[in-house]
Amino acid sequence: MDYWGTLNELYLERQRLDKVIRHLEALVGGGKSESLSRRGRKSMSEAERKLVAERMRNYWASRRQKKESE
């Protein structure tokens, strides 16, 4: 069996499918693919940051108490 030939055919088929998918996504306007490819962190509002900060203060305080009680 010609494994390299089969692999080459599969790679070409994958390239063709990727191209068709890109064209269909462009026709639809991107849809979900744009949101899935988004990178980076979600921005937080000031209120969300305060909630996270308070939650983390409580978390670390409880960790310190557990360590002191050991």
pLDDT in the model for residue 35: 52
Looking at the chain, the number of H-run helices and the number of E-run strands are 3, 0
pLDDT in the model for residue 39: 76
Residue 40 inside a domain? The answer is no
Residue 64 inside a domain? The answer is yes
Question: Do 61 and 53 form a contact (C-beta atoms < 8 A)?
Answer: no
- Per-residue pLDDT reduced to its tens digit, 8-66: 999 999 999 999 999 998 888 855 555 555 678 888 999 999 999 999 999 999 999 98
What is the extent of the structural domain holding 11? 3-34+45-69
Residue 20 inside a domain? The answer is yes
Residue 65 inside a domain? The answer is yes
Number of domains in the chain: 1
Residue 61 inside a domain? The answer is yes
